[in-house]
Structure 1
């Protein structure tokens, strides 16, 4: 009798949309070995994207939350790891850490990020608006502070294309940061 009562709930659960999970990706692996020490983090993200779901801007002020399309982990951590790897490639260093790290001893720079926008648009683009600050270590003196905005054609419809375009935007952001360090 109990199994009969559970049957409607099981049928409803089987009709639910399957979930798809996405990660941001770096351009490739960072070099191995030493080099200038760089720490990435902390990363803060705007409240509207601080959620497990991918986001699309449908119109000027209306955002759509993709209930069945989610990040495969913490978005702040994913952004920090991808940015760290991309910076390692751009700066030719394998000595890159993600916040929080144990000690500043091996690090020369700390880069903090404020991601104010990161979403797809109804015209087939991914957009980013970010601010970044570079601090020298160990004295924690700010040596650079800039904002950067960019857009990237998705090239195709869908959430795979959105995650790929957002990954390319993070690679471009890392290029801007690396240029600011030189």
Structure 2
């Protein structure tokens, strides 16, 4: 009995030592270009957002070379990436269009919304060259008749000002700002 307790104690101590060696996790968010404008204005709904399969995970992803991608095990999104992209894009569109009447999918009623913007994110990652890349397609629908007005694609890259995942998320945020500029141009 004493020998069994001793073995359990050793196993417990080893387990604690292994867990203490695990790398700490860092969490990241995408950020808009600034606060949304207040008040009313043209109603715009953002969403749904769809992600390429390789992005549908909690971890940040980067391209090591050519066709080889890597998942940053200790660097994760702080929440749902689709939701974060939708909120950042909605804020950026509100600023570019001068409206505080921007909603994120799903919204309750189409009554106050004139346009719906749905976005497919085909690429969103960092590269070994020190850049962040974004490749997206979007569609704009008029509401309430849900008639598609336009369907376009946009790709861009943004240099990272320094190394690290924090800067990668910042560069990706700047790319989402550029994408919002392209979308806003079609709505004006």
- Under TM normalisation by the shorter chain, which class is it? over 0.9
TM-score by length of 1: 0.98
- SS class of match (2:117): strand
* Alignment counterpart, residue 77 of structure 1, candidates 78, 83, 94: 83
- Work out whether 1:57 is the aligned partner of 2:63: yes
State which structure, 1 or 2, has the greater radius of gyration over its C-alpha atoms.
Answer: 2
CA distance in 2, matches of 1:4, 1:31: 60
User: Is 1:25 aligned to residue 31 of structure 2?
Assistant: yes
Which residue does the alignment assign to 2:54?
A: 48
Unmatched 5+ residue regions in structure 1? Answer: none
Partner of 1:177: 183
4+ residue runs of structure 1 moved beyond 3 angstroms?
1-5
Q: Secondary structure at the match of 1:33?
A: coil
Number of matched pairs? 182
> Considering only aligned residues, what root-mean-square deviation do their CA atoms show, in Å?
0.8
Correspondence list, 1:141-152, <5 A: 141-152=147-158
Tell me the CA shift for residue 5 of structure 1: 3.2
What's the CA shift for 1:72?
0.3
Distance 2:187 2:39 in 1: 20
Whole-Å separation in 2 of the counterparts to 1:163 and 1:19: 15
SS of 1:180's partner is helix
TM-score of the superposed pair, with normalisation by structure 2: 0.95
Matched, 1:131 2:137: yes
Q: Could you say what secondary structure the match of 2:103 adopts?
A: strand
Would you say 1:155 and 2:161 are equivalent positions? yes
Give structure 2 stretches of 5+ with no counterpart: none
Deviations 1:36-87 (A, max 9, x none): 0000000000000111111110111000100000000000000000000000
